[in-house]
Every structure is written in structure tokens, then in C-alpha cells.
Amino acid sequence: MARSVLDYRGKLKPTWCPGCGDFGVLTGLFNAFARLDLDPNNIALVSGIGCSSRLPGFTSTYGVHSLHGRALPIGQGIKLANPGVEVIVVGGDGDAFAIGGGHFPHAARRNIDLTYVVMNNRIYGLTKGQVAPTSDINFRTVSSPYGNFEEPINPVAFAISVGATFVARGFSGKVDQLTDLMVSAIEHKGFAFLEVISPCVTFNKVHTYKFFQERVTPLPSDYKPDDRTLAIEMAQVMEDKIYTGVFYLKEKPTYQDWLERISGGVEKISPEELLLSQK
């Protein structure tokens, strides 16, 4: 018998603020798990620190609520130790691109076979509303009363530039599309990155659901996610439109593939294969 979303819900009820965008992310994950009929005992959810990083505690899967910014190293360790486990790392934009920013590019370029879901609310929510790595220029917060001076990180463009082989953006206000993206990310063999626009209803009064609903739009129907340069350009359209969907997709050997190939001797890797993997 196929599993339902109820098979993935934990005993603890979510403690997020009513209306938080992270509820949509949790629902999308449950829907994706059920659609893929994944065994809860074969899923490892890993998070760092932050509002969104509480997510593993609300599920019935295995979970690790790790250190701030260190979710990716732990997720990689789990995957390399037991390749058969479905590893999904979750966290917020601060956890991913501030204290955890040094880990992201290396996990991506290694093409570790895991899924990384980053909930982006453009602010620090858990610590009561400070400026974040993705906050806009001139954005006023308790820690930037004169406006933010720092250029914001664009998570999708950044992920493409450092070598992620699956890069997508979704919106927690559109759970059906988000579920589809999560299914595709989990099915992808390699490092799959999914940014989810996830509004903070308590501390960010600028980037609200209304703000995003007026701007979020799917990528054009004729868009093909095989052009890296075009993908970065489309990811940076952030004014009147904010595109969602799969921006970039590439098939290449994973880190685990290389380990398997060298386990019997380096002669298993041909020069042609090495060159092909680097293109």
C-alpha cells in the first residue's frame, strides 16, 4: 500500500508563527515524500539553526538538528557513510549563506548526491529581525536602522555559479508547484539545490505574501535549463518578476560515482571521462 502524508508527520506540531512560509515547505516535503513513496526509515533530514531548521523535529523521519551553518557537512557525511539513505538538508538563508556560506560551494562542486532546501525570508527570524545575507539594499531592520549597505546574495545564481547540477526556485505560497520541484530535486542524481521563497510574517513587513504573489511567475514554457549563462541571467530577474521553476539541470558523475570508480583502481577512470565530467 502506498504511503500517505500522514506517514511522515511527527508527533510534535510545528511551532512556527501562524502564517509562516515554512508551513508550505513542510507540506511540500510531505507531499513529495508520499508521491515518491519513500520509506520514512530511509530519510535523513538535516538542519542547522534557525526557525526553518526546526523542521526535522516535526517529521517521523530520521533527523539531525545540528550546529549553525554546519548542516551541509553533516549531510554529506551521512550520505557518504550510507549512500542508500535519502539525505535532505534544510535551513534558512542566514544558515546557508552567512555562517554556512563556506560549505555551500564545496558541496555543490563535489556534486554530492543530496537535496538542499533553503527557505529564504530575507531576514533573521529566530533572533528577532536582523539583516540577512539576502536582504535588499536599503532594507531597514533592527540591525540596519539606516538601511542595509551590503549587496544581497542571489541564492539561485550563486548555486549555479559554484557548480550545483540541479538548481530551482519555488514559493511556499504555491505548494503544488513546490511539491513538483521537490520531487524533481529528490529524484536528481547529484547536488540538488532548491530555494524556497518563504515569507516571515512577523519580522519582514516588506517582503510579504502579497509582495511575492504580485511578482512570482513560472519560467517561460519554452525555457530549457541547459544554458548556464542564461540560467544565471534569468535567476537575477528580481524586480517586477521573480521567476520560479528549474533554472539549471546537468547530468554528471557524482562524488559517490568517482569513489566507486576508484575503489578498484584509478585505471578505471579514462582521460575522456575525466574531461567530460569537467565540461
CATH number of the domain that residue 195 is part of: 3.40.50.970
The answer to the question of residue 198 being in a domain is yes
The answer to the question of residue 279 being in a domain is no
Exposed/middle/buried for residue 133 (C-beta within 10 Å: 0-12, 13-18, 19+): buried
The answer to the question of residue 238 being in a domain is yes
Q: What is the pLDDT of residues 28-79, one digit of tens each?
A: 999 999 999 999 999 999 999 999 999 999 999 999 999 999 999 999 999 9
Write down the pTM of the prediction.
0.93
The answer to the question of residue 260 being in a domain is no
The answer to the question of residue 261 being in a domain is no
- Give the residue numbers spanning the domain of 154: 5-252
**Domain total of the chain:** 1
The answer to the question of residue 236 being in a domain is yes
How does DSSP classify residue 100? T
Q: What is the pLDDT of residues 180-239, one digit of tens each?
A: 999 999 999 999 999 999 999 999 999 999 999 999 999 999 999 999 999 999 999 998
CA 221 to CA 194: how far, in whole Å?
19
The answer to the question of residue 262 being in a domain is no
